[in-house]
Structure 1
Amino acid sequence: MSDELLVDADGPVLRVRFNRPAQRNAMSWSMYDGLVAAIDRAESDPAIRVVVLRGAGTEAFVAGTDIAQFTEFTSGEDGVAYERRMEAVFGRLEACSVPTVAAISGYCVGAGLAIAAACDLRVATGTARFGVPVARTLGNCLAMNTASMLVFHLGPSRAKDVLLRARMLTAEQGHDAGFVHELCAVDELDAVVASVTERLVAHAPLTMWASKEAIRRLRLASMPDGDDLVRTVFGSDDFHRGVRAFIDKTPHTWSGS
């Protein structure tokens, strides 16, 4: 396992730490692969009863996918392939047979928000910020699966507000929306997460699995295909110029093409 993703068993709890604090824990391809491997490990070890995901440091949980990787994209098909890969990762996390808890401090943005949404429970500090600001940063879009998770957790009206205005929700707003289950101070995060995991460990594993699986199936039951949306947006000049402007930290004006 790469040092970018640290995975350790602590009794019945498997702890997964996104470990790129200098990059606000932005996800590399190997980190996504490592996350899937961690879920596989949790399910293959009968001693593991809970998985906890957390970012290194306090500045970010995960601040999305590492943008430098998007410079490799040359067409809309690259975007479709990327989003299918993301759907596989988020889907594997969401379908994990043991409960998953996201411990969030600081930025939880883009793919980071999707990772948190794919978890069963979310504990956040008052510094947490939630959003998908791609309308003002990169000019890409969400795949249908990620949009479905956002709408499922926040409702369509709030999801549109977050996406169209590129709004960042505060920790309090996330809690009010029901997305954050426990809100605490930064120095209380360890204790609150421990309280949540202790309760989960004490509960019936099959009951919890059936409950989370039923809810997952309900979310997926009415999800349409959205590859045409991804293909159009990721294949646009706006996206390719937006990625370069983001990396170069230069101004960019959107053209809609």
Structure 2
Amino acid sequence: MSYNTLLTAQEESIATVTINRPNKLNALNKETIGELHAVFSELEKDENIKVIILTGSGEKAFVAGADISEFAQFSEKEGGKLAAKGQKLLFDFIEHLSTPVIAAINGFALGGGLELAMACHFRVASDNAKMGLPEVSLGVIPGYGGTQRLPQLIGKGRAMEMIMTAGMIPAERALSYGLINHLTSPEELLPLCTKIAKRITNNSSVAISYAIKAVNAGFMSTVNGYEQEIKAFGACFGTDDFTEGTSAFLEKRKANFPGS
């Protein structure tokens, strides 16, 4: 399947999705959000894909925000629908994807761009990256989950400061805040993400999908995370991956997980 705003590549069981609007600093518009949903849907169905890396084209930006020209004239009702649709179609969708998604932040990750990165399961950034939620400088607030995911990742006080000042933080501070997991040079960003992804592919994709559900449950007010963990833990015992994993351990050999 071809896309107008995305590039896709695959190396063994690792897929890389690149947002390709460099002349717009990879800003999210309606088309890009729709295509991202489509590509993640396809990759989720592909049993050969074990990890997805998401990044932006060029050297300046991961995603430098949303395309403001698309909604500058929206009414209150239209604005609410924009946020609700975007969260359901892309941001919540990625967060709950059973295939691990790594955000490779290669420059500016602002507004919707940072919200997109935060929806991924974890983040790696190059040392030229800058991150922020500048929405209040436009008279609006983050609408794609930023007011919820940022405090979860870095704490309420730091999130409040970032949102209220509308400022950007450098990658070094993002690392100290826990917003990103690793910091590297621009040249080593994708190789490092690929190295981490390969380590993930050595493990049970079924168990990982259960782990994602259990971890996410702990951040949902309507779900008991501990109960979800118990349920997921028990479910693992009924999988072929569990049989293979435990057998390989006892036989002192490397596991060859069937993914079922």
State the alpha-carbon separation in 2 of the partners of residues 165 and 131 from structure 1. Answer: 9
Other structure's SS at 2:104 match: strand
Where 2:179 maps in the other structure, the secondary structure is: coil
Does 2:60 align with 1:42? no
Identical aligned residues as a percent: 29
Amino acid at match of 1:178: G
Structure 1 equivalent of residue 96 of structure 2: 95
* Residues 1:159 and 2:149 are matched in the alignment: no
- Cα distance change of structure 1 residues 145 and 27 upon mapping to structure 2, 3 Å threshold: closer
Deviation of the 1:10 alpha carbon: 2.6
Show CA shifts across 1:43-69 (max 9, x none): 111000001100001100001111110
Q: Measure, in 1, the Cα distance between the counterparts of 2:190 and 2:44.
A: 24
Query: 1:161 is aligned with what amino acid?
Result: E
1:114-167 CA-to-partner distances (Å, cap 9, x unmatched) read 11001112110111111011222x211123843111111111001000011112
1:41 Cα deviation from its structure 2 partner = 0.9
Gaps of 5+ in 2: 224-260
Q: State the shift of 1:110 in Å.
A: 0.6
CA contact (8 A) 1:87 1:146 kept: no
Whole-Å separation in 1 of the counterparts to 2:67 and 2:153:
25
Aligned residue number for residue 226 of structure 1: none
Residues 148 and 219, structure 1, Cα contact 8 Å, conserved in 2: no
> TM-score normalised to the size of structure 1?
0.82
Post-superposition, which runs of at least 4 consecutive aligned residues in structure 1 deviate over 6 A?
none
Alpha carbon RMSD of aligned pairs, Å? 1.6
Residue pair 1:114, 1:146 contacting (<8 A) in 2 also: yes
Identify the residue that residue 133 of structure 2 maps to in structure 1: 132
The one-letter amino acid paired with 1:12 is: S
1:187 aligns to what?
A: 187
The aligned residue for residue 227 of structure 1 is: none
Q: Is the 8 A contact 1:95 1:216 kept in 2?
A: yes
Between Structure 1 and Structure 2, whose CA radius of gyration is higher? 2
Give the aligned partner of residue 62 of structure 1.
Answer: 63
Once the two structures are superposed, residues 49-99 of structure 1 have per-residue CA deviations (whole angstroms, 9 ceiling, x without a partner) of 0011000011000011111101341x1111100100121110111011111
Say which structure, 1 or 2, has more relative contact order (CA 8 Å, 6+ apart): 1
**Could you tell me which residue of structure 1 aligns to residue 9 of structure 2?**
8
What count of residue pairs does the alignment treat as equivalent?
221
TM-score normalised by L of structure 2: 0.81
CA shift, 1:204, in A, is: 1.5
Q: Which residue of 1 aligns with 2:201?
A: 201
- Contact 2:20–2:57 (8 Å) recurs in 1: yes
Q: Counterparts of 1:86 and 1:152 in 2: how far apart (Å)?
A: 20
Pairwise CA distance, 1:221 = 1.9
CA distance in 2, matches of 1:173, 1:212: 26
Q: What is the alpha-carbon distance in structure 1 between the residues aligned to residue 126 and residue 9 of structure 2?
A: 23
**In 1, Cα distance between equivalents of 2:151 and 2:86:** 17
